[in-house]
Amino acid sequence: ETGPTMVGDEHSDPSLMSFLGATKRNMLGNHFWEYYVNDAPRIVLNKLESCGYRVVSMTGVGQTLVWCLHKE
């Protein structure tokens, strides 16, 4: 997979979003904000691993991949 990668919503930790280099945006038609980065998921997952997160599960929804992580 290549970027962009959605990494959070409007309730996400701002300091973590900053660490990931994420930008907050609101897509036309959505009633919520989301954070995204231009990095591929593997880059984001490596950064999150360095912060103590690990992948718990992953699934595909249509053409979207969803990763569930847990912080140790």
Structural domains in the chain plus CATH codes: 5-71 (3.30.1410.10)
pLDDT at 56: 97
Peptide bond before 41: cis, by omega within 30 degrees of 0?
no
Classify 32 as helix, strand or coil. coil
Nearest to 1 by CA among 41, 56, 44: 41
The chain-wide mean pLDDT, for the chain, equals: 93
Q: What is the pTM of this model?
A: 0.84
User: Could you give the CA distance from residue 63 to residue 50 in angstroms, rounded to a whole number?
Assistant: 27
Kindly report, residue by residue over 34-58, the tens digit of the pLDDT.
Answer: 999 999 999 999 999 999 999 999 9
pLDDT at 34: 95
Residue 1 has pLDDT above 80, yes or no: no
**DSSP designation for 26:** -
